[in-house]
Every structure is written in C-alpha cells, then in structure tokens.
Chains A and B, each alone.
Chain A
Amino acid sequence: MEEKKQAQDILLKINNFRLHYNTREEVYEAVNGVSFNLKKGTTLGLVGETGAGKTSIALAIMGLLPIPPARIIEGEILFNGEDLLKKDAKEMRRIRGNRISMIFQDPMTALNPVLRVGDQIMEVIKLHDKISKAEAEVKAHEVLQMVGIEDDRFNDYPHQFSGGMKQRVVIAMALVCRPELIIADEPTTALDVTIQAQVLSMMKSLRDEIRTSMLLITHDLGIVAENCDECAIIYAGEIMERGTIRDIFGNPLHPYTLGLFNSIPSLDKEVERLTPIPGLASDPTNLPEYCSFCDRCPMHIEKCRQVDPETVEVSPGHFVKCHLVSEGSASAER
C-alpha cells in the first residue's frame, strides 16, 4: 500500500540508463548506468560539468537523441510508469510539448527567426489543443503576459528581443500546454546575472502556479540551492551523489561534490587560495573499469583503483557512489 502510493508520486523514474555514442574510431561512453526519480511537483537539479552527460539524459527523455551515432545500451526511462525508450516516433511526438517540454540554453534553437513571436506561440497552442484561431490568440496573449512580456510585443520578431526576453518567450512556449514535466537545460547560462535572477524567479513562480515537475540541468550549484528540492551530482556519466538539497548542501559526502564546493570562489568567505579538483575531466572514450573519479580524487584508497563502487543509500533518499562512504570511513571535510 505504502509502496504503491510512493510509485504514484513518482513522475519520472530512470533506471540504470546507459548510452554510448559510436563513431568509427571511438566509443564515447556518455551515460553509464544512471538512476534517479523525480517526484510529482518537485524540481530535481542535475549538476555536472561539460561532457558529464547531462544533456544526453535530457535528450533521451525527450526522444531527441540522434540515433546513430547514439545507441541506447540498456535501462529504462519511465514516465508515469510508461517506458519512453520503447515508444515510437509518433507516440513521442504526441508526448513532447504536450506532457514534456524542454527549454534549451540557446533560445534561438526553439524560435523561428522569420515568424512573429505571437504567431509561434499560437502555433504551439493549435498543435496541441484543438481550438480556433481566435481562442489560440487569446491564450497566446495570456501566456506572454504570464512570462512578463508586454502585449504590444506580440507581433515582434525574435531578433527584436534581447536574450532574456527570448528565453522568456521560449519558456512561455514550453509552459503553454501545461506539461507535467519541464526539462530546462542550462536555461539561464547565456544570460546576465540580473536577467538570470529575473528569469529564474519567474520560472519558479510559474512552476508553482501550474504545479509542474522540473528537471533543471545546470553547472551552477547556486542555482540548484535556490531552485531545487533534490539534486543529483553527475560526473563522467554517472551519478556520484544524490539526495535532497539538505543532504547535498548540508552533508555532502562524495569527494567530487566536496571538490566542487571548494573550487567555487565564495562571496561570503575570505579564501586566499581556492582548492581546485586536480587533473582533468575524465575522457569518456577511455573510462576506467574502476571509479571514474578516482584519478582526480585526493582521498582515494587502494580499493578505488580495483572495483567500481556500488551506490549506497547512506540515509533515506541520500545516495552516494564511493568506497569511502560505503566502507563508513568517510571524513567529510569542508
């Protein structure tokens, strides 16, 4: 009974998802056995650096992976209990935009430069709701107002908008059909700080208003702290640590998570010298059989070079993939 109720709460469940990109000379191990749950009405932050596999996961959920070169090796992506990886192109088209929307980093990937902004929003509405043109127009005006764009800009073209405004339009298009899940891939990375603050606070209030779930992909831990309920730290296509915001920010356990915190210059504290994570990001075409982070890890023990650690649940909902933690000798120094 309890279990069933929990399963109903989960909107998106990814199980042991593994994805490779195959080229003639290389196999790029982009995602290596990722599992996480996204509960209804909550926001999960997916944090990682360039090439960690964040965007590949997003595209896989959307059914937008370029296959080939991409190849799904194993795993399942359950959306309301249905495996999205088993759906055909036609079914995915019906889900995309209607039930799952995506916001990209570059708003121009979603906007057509030769169409008026208002018309583009109307087009999205008409595509998903069977309503008349007049009704769609009314709705489009409403949506633009919702994201804080003045009514007289309805007939402007995308190039007449600034970056922040364009991203607002894209968000409006993503929200217009009230999707159950929004995937936002670095939605504010291209924006200035003050504009980012505007867009994030707008996204937050809209998300609460239409009670949608969100997968927020970012490299910025600050954005996660302020916008998410849960967080997953991804490195070389594997989730190293995941848990609630309280777990990750209050009790970070994985050496990579700790390393990330230490390499960010702080606004509150005086730090003479930063402590960067040594070395370079792992090469996804040449991953070790043991822990991917081991070669950069200042705390690694002998075992780290021998076996790939299992993911363990250290406290309810807080998962860590590290020998130090599973052996109970973790010393979380900050």
Chain B
Amino acid sequence: MAKYKTPEMEKAAQVRAKYSGKSSIDSPGRQAWKRLKRNPTALVGMFIIIVVILVAIFADVLAPFDPNQPDYMALKKAPDAVHWFGTDSLGRDILSRCIYGARYSLALSLATTITSALTGGLLGTIAGYRGGKTDNAIMRVMDVFQAIPMVLMAMSITAVLGNGIPQLIVAITISSLSICARTFRMAILTVRSGEYIESSRAINIGTFKMILRHLIPNAVGLLSIQMITILAASIGLISSLSYIGIGIAPPTPEWGSILNQGKDFLMSSPHMVIAPTCCILVAVLGFQLFGVGLRDALDPRMK
C-alpha cells in the first residue's frame, strides 16, 4: 500500500521479500551474520580468505613438487605446462613454494597481528579511557618506540633473544605496538564522548565492563579496518626482515622471501617476482574486503 505507486516500489518489495525473515528475534551475532551474507564485498573477501587458508592447510596435497627440492636441469624456467609459475634460480618450482608459502605468511602475519592488537590494544584502551597522566605516560613511551627504526629494533631483539620465528613475532609485535596503541586510543576517544557512556556510568557500570560492553563494540568498526591494514603490512614486514636474515631462514618458502630471492632476476625472469607478488596481493585484498564487510556487518545500524 502506498500513496502513489512507482516501479521502484515493486522492486524494493521484491528485495525485501527476498531477505525477509524473522530477523527481529535473531541474536545479535546471527543478525550480523545475515548482514554479512548480504554484503557482496564481504563475501568476496571471505571467499578469498577461505581459499588461501585451504591452500595453506592442504599444501602437501596441492603442491606438485617439493618446494625445497632444487632441479638443476630447470633453472629460471619461464612458466610452462610442468612448472605453472616457472622455477627459480635453483630450479625450485615457484608454484609449490607459493603454496607452502601461504602457511608461513598467513600464520605469521595472523600471529603478529593478534599479539600486537592484544598488547597495543590494551595499552591504547587504557590510555584512551583513563586520559590525563596515564594517557600521557603510555603515549610518550609509544612515541619512543615509534622513533626507533623497525629494522634496528628487530635486529636488537634478535641479538638479545637469538634468531627464530618466535623472536620474529616479538620483533614485529613491538614495532607495530605503537600503531596499534594509537589506533585503539583514537577509537576509544571517539566512542568515549558518547552520551551513552555517561548514562552507563549513572547505572554503576564498572570500568572493565564499560570497556568490554560499550567501548570496544562501538569502536570495532574503526578497529577492524585498521587491524587488517596492520595484518597486510606485517606480510610485507616479515619478508623484509627475512631478507636481512631475521626470522625466516632462506630455504623456507615464505612469500616475502620468495619475492626477495626473485628480485635479483627481475629483468631477465620477471615471473619469479610476479607469482609471489600476486599471492601477497590477493591475500591482502581478501582481508581488506572482508574487513570492510565485517565493519558494516557488526554495525546494527546498517540494514
């Protein structure tokens, strides 16, 4: 029923009918999932991420060759029917290396993002919520951290703790700590000025609950995008650190290190660079798209 019928109304009614359901009695999580399902951006992102994860899990099955097995008969071969992505300077199959690389790149970047989001997030949340002197103290320390070049920081950490993958995670966490703290602090500050925070104080909601129930959920939109950006950056970070011999040792197939090994042959055999670059690009793109979709899905104000 309407005052005046237009063709748009019928179209809109069809769209509504397609998605209509008993949405009002769903739990918030289920509603978020429904919104996610209706968001094409998020779905594409999710699809990419799932594919990359499956590739990482089933690397043994999918990879046509042993990623570390040199083949001196086929050095620097351009892509062909046998080696789809070609071979590298030692004759290793690049496709297989990229498939195995998904494991290392994905696991490492996820691990570093989670640790830095937890530590930096905690510091930033405290700084943003408490304000005043606490804020000042935390953020000035963060400034110092940011002032130290990342590579130098990573080198000093490995010098103290020794070389290895856990040390790599620590190094990257510490170097992205200040960015995380700053992101969380900003998000909390934006949210904290809302009148509903005051109305929660009036009903005796404690600090801890306030942060978990009100501040973080409302900041999640701002945070999810930023965290995904940090995730994407950390794939790059890992590779540049492995280039100077920190963390991942050369034979291990990791996208960044494959890229590094290939870059010397950029002019003669560009395929050595293109394949790992595409891998990084696709994975980052998947996370970015999913991040944008997730932000919208978690917001009940979005239809």
Contact = CB atoms under 8 A, between A and B. Distances in A.
A289 B6 contact: no
A23 B12 contact: yes
Interface string B3-27: 1101011001001100100000000
A29 B12 contact: no
B2 interface: yes
A327 interface: no
A302 interface: no
Given A288-B1, A289-B1, A27 B6 contact: yes
Nearest to B20: A25
B12 A22 contact: yes
B303 interface: yes
13 contacts: A22-B12, A23-B12, A24-B12, A24-B15, A25-B15, A25-B16, A27-B9, A32-B4, A73-B4, A286-B1, A286-B2, A287-B1, A308-B3
Given A23-B12, A24-B15, A32-B3, 19 more contacts: A22-B6, A25-B15, A25-B16, A27-B2, A27-B6, A27-B12, A29-B4, A33-B4, A71-B6, A71-B8, A73-B4, A286-B1, A286-B2, A287-B1, A287-B2, A289-B1, A289-B2, A289-B3, A308-B3
A27 B2 CA distance: 10
Contacts of B4: 18, 20, 29, 32-33, 73
A22 B6 CA distance: 10
A26 interface: yes
B6 A20 contact: yes
Interface in B1-55: 1-4, 6, 8-9, 12, 15-16, 19
Among all A-B residue pairs, the 5 with the closest Cβ atoms: A22-B8, A27-B9, A32-B3, A25-B15, A287-B3
A26 B12 contact: yes
A26 B15 CA distance: 9
A29 B1 CA distance: 11
Interface in A261-314: 286-289, 292, 308
Contacts of B19: 25
A287 B6 CA distance: 13
Nearest to B8: A22
Q: Interface size for chain B: under 10, 10 to 19, 20 to 34, or 35 or more residues?
A: 10 to 19
A29 B3 contact: yes
A286 B12 CA distance: 12
Contacts, number: 46
Interface string A16-49: 0010101111110100110000000000000000
B12 to A, nearest CB: 5
A292 B3 CA distance: 9
A20 B3 CA distance: 11
Nearest to B9: A27
A236 B44 CA distance: 40
Contacts of A292: 3
Contacts of B2: 27, 29, 286-287, 289
B3 A27 contact: no
A292 B9 CA distance: 18
A120 B283 CA distance: 49
Contacts of A33: 3-4
Contact of B8 (A20, A237, A238, A288): A20
A314 to B, nearest CB: 23
Interface in A60-99: 71, 73
Scoring B6, B8, B12 by chain A CB atoms within 10 A of each residue's CB, the highest score goes to B8
B266 to A, nearest CB: 46
Contacts of B303: 25
B125 to A, nearest CB: 31
Scoring A27, A237, A286 by chain B CB atoms within 10 A of each residue's CB, the highest score goes to A27
A288 B19 CA distance: 23
A51 to B, nearest CB: 15
Contacts of A26: 12, 16
A286 B16 CA distance: 13
Nearest to B303: A25
A101 to B, nearest CB: 31
Interface in B269-303: 303
A328 to B, nearest CB: 25
A305 B194 CA distance: 43
Contacts of B6: 20, 22, 27, 71, 73
Nearest to A32: B3
Scoring B1, B4, B9, B15 by chain A CB atoms within 10 A of each residue's CB, the highest score goes to B4
A23 B6 CA distance: 13
A288 B1 CA distance: 6
Nearest to B19: A25
Scoring A29, A71, A292 by chain B CB atoms within 10 A of each residue's CB, the highest score goes to A29
A68 to B, nearest CB: 10
Nearest to A69: B8
